[in-house]
Amino acid sequence: MSQPIGPEPRRGPPNSNPSMPQREPKTRRILVTGATGFIGRALIPALVAAGYGVRAAVRGPLPARDKDRGRDSSAGTSAFPEEQGHGWHGPSSQSLAPGENGAAAPHSLARSSPSPDEVLGARAEEEPRVEHTQVGDIGPGTRWNGALRDVGAVVHLAARVHVMAQSGSGASAEYQRVNTVGTERLALAAAETGVRRFVFLSTVKVHGEATGARAFTESDPPLPQDAYARSKWEAEQALRRIGARTGMEVVILRPPLVYGPGVKANFFSLLQAIARGLPLPIGAIDNRRSLIFVGNLADAIVKCIEHPAAAGGTFLVRDGEDLSTPELARRLARALDVRPRLLSVPPSWLSFGGWLTGRRDAVDRLIGSLAVDDSKIRAALGWGPPYTLDEGLAATARWFLARTR
């Protein structure tokens, strides 16, 4: 298995049985929802590298390893903690970090560390510091008490993701059920069981679909345009209320488009088109797009778990460089070692074509700008992306080529 980036995780006593899991102190165990998803698969190795034990919440049956080792922490059918009348208590925010005396241990993915391919290729399910818990579908009826046992912090990645083709009242209700009510239910259960910090992955779409001459900042008013973004914004508000009422520290991250090995949807389609040498009518687009490599996002999440100043914060994150759509295509082509075929079609023509085909919104996103200002997280937490944009694109291209050969 690939070596993880960061400090060597602490192991059990020298005479301990290596085949049995070592029990983590509560403050060092993190519950991760969406653990088997695109971002979760990058986050878990980063958490292990930072010295944490991970409890990975999964929908389906537990991996055989967890059952064989007696590590089934399935939530089962018992009542929610808040229904049992437990009082709230928990460790201080400093105790969440693996460092001594409340100081956050350094975990930055240093330049001398293994490549993004090695880290993101790690099989998290093979890690002795990762256990799984089956929670089923996330929503109002999810039972979290077993999953939250002895957990110091929660990272909530799981969500019903935005799909362009989905619209209407049915889709809106499902976004609400999973992303808003499901998040609120988890947060209430977490506060009742003494979880100190709750890190929530929201979306830049809370601010809107496009920027003008100025990038979005955290102080910009929310302007969600679709059911997905509204469900995330309403989840943020519910978390703030729960945090204010219970004292649980809430941290919200609003990433732009996330890419990396395992990416799907439009980014994967762009990779396919470039690799096949298809002509793309995007050469005349002059816009500005922020992106974030999944390895950089994982590092930012770890920082938000550890840093005392993250408590109560909302942060936009990005790679260190914004790109236009044609420049992104050129960089990807270089990473794929192919020549891009970009046609200079006026954006107004593209927009009209989108209107004719009923894909106006998709085209507007392609030709429009969506940039974020991440100076707040850099100043407040001292965070910077450990990988450059070109390193992230290169890792993504290598994964794509290996997958499609």
Q: Which residues are marked as active site? A: 228
How far is CA 144 from its chain centroid?
A: 20
In what order do the strands lie in the sheet containing 249-254?
Answer: 130-134, 53-58, 29-33, 153-156, 197-201, 249-254, 314-316
8 A C-beta contact, residue 156 and residue 238: no
- Specify the 3-state DSSP secondary structure of 89: coil
Pairing of strands 29-33, 130-134: unpaired
Which of 129, 227, 235, 229 minimizes the C-alpha distance to 186?
Answer: 235
Residue 276 CB burial class (10 angstroms; 0-12, 13-18, ≥19): exposed
Radius of gyration of the chain (CA): 21
Reading the block at residue 111, the tokens are 């330049």
Our CA dihedral for 336, 339, 344, 345, rounded to 10 degrees, sits at -60
**Tokens at 187, concatenated:** 């947060």
Nearest Cα to Cα of residue 294 among 40, 57, 31? 40
> What are the residues whose beta carbons fall under 8 Å from the beta carbon of 312, sequence distance 6 or more?
243, 249, 250, 251
Cα(345)–Cα(138) distance, integer angstroms: 44
Nearest to 365 by CA among 314, 298, 289: 289
Please name the helix (run of DSSP H) or strand (run of DSSP E) that holds residue 20, with its range, or none. none
Terminal C-alpha separation, the chain: 22
Q: What are phi and psi of 40, to 5 degrees?
A: -60, -40
